[in-house]
Amino acid sequence: MKRIVAAGILAGMLAACQASQEGLKPIPGSITYGGQPSQRLQKSPVGSIVPHTFTDQWGERVRETYILQPDRSLKLVDRVYLDNPFD
């Protein structure tokens, strides 16, 4: 039962992210900046969440969230600037 509830919550969150972040583009430092990575995530299940934290070209810390797609590519679904005092 817990798994069903967790899956429902996750699906709702992902749908909200996808609806609000349709135009989200990779920036320098993103995993998918310049195209998909050459190595595919073969052992991870489709739908896995892949977090990535890096420092952008202006020195700000950024946390991005990706979802593993059925074709094993990564889809950027969320970006948060960690040093932003207004978040």
What pLDDT, on the 0 to 100 scale, is given for residue 7?
A: 52
Instruction: Dig out the tokens for 65 from the structure.
Output: 């969230």
pLDDT one-digit tens code per residue, 22-69: 679 999 999 999 999 888 888 899 999 999 999 999 999 999 999 999
What does DSSP say about strands 61-68 and 49-55: parallel, antiparallel, or unpaired?
antiparallel
C-alpha dist (Å) from residue 58 to 8, 10, 12, 38, 40 = 37, 32, 33, 26, 29
Band of the pLDDT at 9, cuts 50, 70, 90? low
Predicted confidence (pLDDT) at residue 21 exceeds the cutoff of 70: no
Amino acid present at 54 = F
Report helix, strand or coil for 7.
helix
Backbone angles phi, psi at 6, to 5 degrees: -65, -40
Query: Would you say residue 77 has pLDDT above 70?
Result: yes
